[in-house]
Amino acid sequence: MSLPAVESHRTSERIFDRTIFYCLIFVVVSPMFSIAVHSIGFGAALILWAIKMVVARKWEVCRTPLDYFFLAYAVAEILSTVFSLHPSESLINMKRLLLIVIVYLSAASLKEEWKIKTLLGTLFCTAAFLSLYEIGNVFITHEPRLNVFQHYMTTGGLKMIVSLLILPFILDEGFSRKLRYALVALFVPIFVALILTQTRSSWLGFLCGAVVIGIVKNRTFVFAIIGFVVLFIFFAPSTLQHRALSVIDPHDPSNNLRIRMWETGWRIFCDHPVVGIGDTDIKQTYIQYTTPIDINEGGHLHNNFVMLAVTLGIIGFSAVMAIFVRVILYEFSVFRKVFAYPLARSIILGSIAVFIGFQVNGLFEWNFGDQEIAALFWFTIGLAIAIERFTNRTAADEKEIITVTKKSD
C-alpha cells in the first residue's frame, strides 16, 4: 500500500474513532434526559463500529474477564424465551442483552486519557446542569417529587450513580484543590436532586456506596456521612424526614406492598423454578396468584433478585449472580493494580461504589430492567476495563522509558 493510501486509511480510521466516541458520549449522557436520544446514539455507535470493523477488516471487540458469564446469561435468556408463558413478549424484552454491548464499546473506545476525561466531564456537567433545572422546577411547580425527565425512581437511580462516580475525585488528594472544588460545585446540585426524588432505595444505595468509598479512601468521611444522616433526620423538612424514617417503618404502605409482591413472586418462582416464566411483564401471571390491592402492583416486583428468579428461573438467576460476583472481584483487583494513578484509582473506586449502590437500590427496585440505569451500570464496567488497559499501557510505556534511559546511561 502506498504512503498516501496508508495515510488516507489512518485518517479514515481516526474519523471513525472520533465519531464513535462522540456517539458513546450520547449513549452515556442521554439517559439523564431522553431515552430516545440514548437509543439513537446507541444504534448509531453500533452501526459505525460495525462499519469500521468491516472496512478495516479488523475485529475490535476485545476479550474481557466477563465474556463467558455474559454468554451464560444470553443462553439463559434464550431458554427462558423458548419456554416462556408469553414467548413473543419475552423475545422483545431480550433486547436488554444489547445493553451489555456498552461494556465492549466503552472498553474499545476509551483508549486515551483525553477521551476518558472528556466523557466523564461531560457526564458530570450535564448531570449538574440538568439537576439545577430540575430543582428549580420542583420549587416553581411545587411537585412533591423531582421527576422532570423520567420517573422519579429512575431519576433517583441515575443521580445516585453519577454522585458516586464523582465522590472519589473529591476525596482524592492526588488532584488539585481547584479541580476538587469544581467537582464539589457539580456534586451539590446532583446530590440535592437525588434527595428531592425522595427515592429511598437510591438514598440507601448512595449511602452504602459512599461508606465503601470512605472505608477505602478516608475513614473520617464515614463519620461525616453518619453526621449528615443524623442532621438530616432531625432538621430536614418534614416530608423528607418522613420519607427517611419510613425506611424502617413496618407499617409503611409501600413497604408492606413490596413484601406482598416478593411473597407472591416466591410462589410464582416455586411453580416455574428452572427457566422462569420468561422475560415479560409479569402482571398477567401475577394476578393469577393474588388480587392486587394497588393499581401499580405486580407490573414488576421491585427487587432485582426476585424478578430474575421469577422471569429467568434458577438458571438465569445463577448466570446474573455470577456476573455480579465476577464484576466486583474484577473491579477490586483492578483497583489494587492502578492504585498509584489518581485518575485510574478514582474511576475504579467510583465504579465499585456504583456497583454497591446499584445492588442496594436493586433490593427495592427493578433497576436491572430499567434501561437508563442499566446503561450507566454497564458503562461503569466497560470503563473499569478501559482503565485497566489504559493503565497497563501507561505502565508499559514508563517501563520502556526507564529501560531506554538506563541503556543510554
For 207, counting Cβ atoms within 10 Å of its Cβ (0-12 exposed, 13-18 middle, 19+ buried), the class is: middle
Q: Give mean pLDDT, residues 148-167.
A: 94
pLDDT tens-digit readout, 204-263: 999 999 999 999 988 899 999 999 999 998 998 988 988 998 888 878 888 899 999 999
Of 7-16, 24-33, 158-167, 237-246, minimum mean pLDDT range? 7-16
**Does residue 402 surpass a pLDDT of 70?**
no
Q: Give mean pLDDT, residues 151-161.
A: 94
Looking at residue 148, its pLDDT comes to 87
pLDDT tens-digit readout, 74-86: 999 999 999 998 8
Radius of gyration of the chain (CA): 23
DSSP H/E element including 319: helix 304-337
**Does residue 7 surpass a pLDDT of 70?**
no
pLDDT tens-digit readout, 355-396: 999 999 999 999 999 999 999 999 999 999 999 988 887 655
Looking at residue 291, its pLDDT comes to 86
Looking at residue 93, its pLDDT comes to 86
Looking at residue 407, its pLDDT comes to 54
CB–CB of 343/115 below 8 Å? no
| Type of residue at 250 | P
Spell out the long-range contacts of 30-34 with Cβ–Cβ below 8 A and sequence spacing 24 or more.
31/158, 31/371, 31/372, 31/373, 31/375, 31/376, 32/126, 32/127, 32/130, 32/149, 32/158, 32/162, 32/372, 33/126, 33/130, 33/149, 34/149
pLDDT tens-digit readout, 285-311: 999 998 888 887 888 899 999 999 999
CB neighbourhood size of 235 (10 A)? 9
Of 45-49, 163-167, 186-190, 307-311, minimum mean pLDDT range? 45-49
**Does residue 87 surpass a pLDDT of 60?**
yes
**Does residue 184 surpass a pLDDT of 50?**
yes
CB neighbourhood size of 23 (10 A)? 22
Mean pLDDT of all residues belonging to the chain: 90
CB–CB of 30/41 below 8 Å? yes
Nearest Cα to Cα of residue 98 among 355, 378, 346, 394: 378
**Does residue 404 surpass a pLDDT of 50?**
no
Percent of the chain predicted with pLDDT > 70: 93
Look up residue 363 and give its three cell numbers. 433490593
Looking at residue 299, its pLDDT comes to 83
First vs last C-alpha separation in the chain:
39
Q: What is the largest CA-CA distance in the chain?
A: 82
Indicate the Cα dihedral angle 72, 307, 355, 202, nearest 10°: 160
Characterise 141 by phi-psi region: left (phi > 0), alpha (psi -120 to 50), beta (else).
Answer: alpha
Q: How confident is the model at residue 13 (pLDDT cuts 50, 70, 90)?
A: confident
